[in-house]
A and B are shown apart, each in its own frame.
Chain A
Amino acid sequence: MLYPDTVESVVLVHQPRFVATMFAAALVVFTVFNLTGTTMGELMRPVIGEPLQSGFYGRFAIALVIAALFCLNIVLIGFASLKIQIAIVWIELLLVFLAFFQTFHLSLPFIEQKLPFLIAQGLVTTVYVSAISIAIASLIAILGAVAKLSTNGFAYAIASFYTSFFRGLPLLMQVYLIYLGLPQLGIIIDAVPAGILALSLCYGAYMTEIFRSGIQSIDRGQWEASRSIGFGFGLTMRKIILPQALPVIIPPTGNQFISMLKDSSLVSVIGVWELMFLARTLGQKTFQHMEMLISAAMLYWIMSICLELIQSRIERHYARSKVR
């Protein structure tokens, strides 16, 4: 939450100047875009006659109606309570998206036919590759963060070299390097382990920095209190510092998890049958690329939403000790 003042400001969408500006902007935009050939043109047939022959008059009339509906919509939403506002705007944006996809004339039966395989093979692979990578990356991150904060020269050097290297190379290149490079050393590695290794190492490097800043954000007094009771380094870290650092670490880590979920699509280049790989190959035979790509996109989005929900739950859990 931003700082909520106790004096209410005038609702923006109820200011005549704002509404007039939005109206004018919508009018201009929809006059410029020719909508006479769309469903909107058909709906306006009683007013403007044959849509395609209505010319500028038709375009202007359509724009006028859309602008009026749009402004009425935002003014009405302005009256609703916060939660209802959020819900309505979400639903409307989703509908706009649906309308947009409608214009692609997607073959729904094709999607229905391929979706089970896309989920059973692609989604499942994506989820387990990401989940394992996230777990390993978190472990690496804790070790890396402690090493980077330590006064041990070896540990610091190794950790800083590691973060510098793996943050400095494109993930795609790391995937190739591990999959194609390791066999040169005589280590034959399958595509899935190679992908997991690349993702863990790369995200471990980013998360090292997140964990380090989280640990550093804890007041020195906590260390002193813990050590003065007699706790050693390990106990202090595990029981005192990390639990307090977690609320600081979790929001950016949630970000990393979502980002990793999507970046796992990069391992499709080494032939792992995950979501992205299948989305590209399943539609290829019949040139129905859009169907599969959009289905995969929606699946990624749904997974991300799940992670967002989990993240907000965890954040609420840790907000406990902050409640006054």
Chain B
Amino acid sequence: MSAETIIDVRNVSKWYGAFQVLTDINLKVRKGERIVICGPSGSGKSTLIRCFNRLEAHQEGEIVVNGINLHAKMRNVSDVRRNVGMVFQHFNLFPHMTVLMNCMVGPMWISGVPEAEARARALKYLERVRIPEQANKFPVQLSGGQQQRVAIARSLCMQPAVMLFDEPTSALDPEMVSEVLETMTALAKDGMTMVCVTHEMGFARAVADRVIFMNGGQIVEEATPDEFFTSPKHERTQVFLSQILKH
């Protein structure tokens, strides 16, 4: 299988001051692949995916996204970011804009899409996440699950090459988790390249091509969901799985 590589991470290390958060990470994300990253809190999984669109800087190694090498002196970081959608734990919708505007501003201001087309595109993706009827409301008027789906639509409107999800369901009420996961599953079915940091093991099992387990800033295990859940190789993975699957 030699599909086009979208994200190529080579020997990446990162420090916060003296504390090393990422140690020698190697990872390839190919076009159309769905990758789930899990691990205990503080294991560096969020930090890692935030490096993929340079919201965080890495100090050693190389990250190449869509053929562009990420480094401190790059002048085209915007070219990377417009092609990498990101969904945050706390949604981070723009509260002073309507849902529709939230989805329109990216294409209009970054890609120079005319307003009418941006509107059509926004409505299309809001339809896709199944909330077109909320288009003219402000984010605070929506439930958490709806807000997160708008956030997904906002990222989709940029028509990105890859979508990053940073614990998208962690801040949601249990009832709203499923509506967001369904949206993400539908997205995966359509062939979107996705990297998800999540603890939703059911989602990982159903959707992921690969599951990556991180601990202490290192990739401990990388396996297909079947292998990962039925016969995890490392002891740390077994402990982690027994902890979160026990309930």
Contacts and interface: CB of A to CB of B under 8 A. Distances in A.
B138 interface: yes
B110 interface: yes
Contacts of A222: 92, 94
Given A227-B81, A235-B109, A322 B94 contact: no
A240 interface: yes
Nearest to B138: A321
B158 interface: yes
A232 B75 CA distance: 11
Contacts, number: 65
Interface string A224-240: 11111111100100011
Contacts of B238: none
A322 B106 CA distance: 23
Contacts of A232: 78
Contacts of A244: 94-96
A16 interface: no
B109 A231 contact: yes
Contacts of A221: 88, 90, 92
A324 interface: yes
Interface string B156-182: 001000000000000000000000000
A228 B96 contact: no
A240 B154 CA distance: 15
Interface residues of A, number: 22
Contact of B140 (A229, A230, A239, A322): A322
Given A232-B78, A320-B138, A225 B93 contact: yes
A243 interface: yes
Given A230-B78, A239-B109, A324 B88 contact: no
A239 B155 CA distance: 18
B contact residues, range: 20 to 34
A226 B90 CA distance: 14
Contacts of B82: 229-230
A322 B110 CA distance: 27
Contacts of A230: 78-79, 81-82, 106, 110, 158
A243 B96 contact: yes
A231 to B, nearest CB: 7
B65 interface: no
B110 A225 contact: no
Given A224-B55, A324-B140, A229 B92 contact: no
B141 interface: yes
B109 A228 contact: no
A46 B63 CA distance: 99
A158 to B, nearest CB: 26
Interface string B126-139: 00000000000011
A248 to B, nearest CB: 12
Interface centre among A222, A228, A323 (most CB of B within 10 A): A228
Nearest to B94: A240
Contacts of A225: 86, 88, 92-94
Contacts of A320: 138
B148 interface: no
Given A224-B92, A227-B55, A235-B109, A324 B81 contact: no
B105 interface: yes
30 contacts: A221-B88, A221-B92, A222-B94, A224-B88, A225-B86, A225-B92, A225-B94, A227-B55, A227-B81, A228-B84, A228-B85, A228-B86, A229-B82, A229-B105, A230-B110, A230-B158, A231-B78, A235-B109, A239-B105, A243-B96, A244-B94, A244-B96, A320-B138, A321-B97, A321-B138, A321-B139, A321-B140, A322-B95, A323-B141, A324-B141
Given A321-B96, A321-B138, 16 more contacts: A219-B92, A221-B88, A221-B92, A224-B55, A224-B88, A224-B92, A225-B92, A225-B93, A228-B53, A229-B81, A230-B82, A230-B110, A231-B110, A232-B78, A320-B138, A321-B95
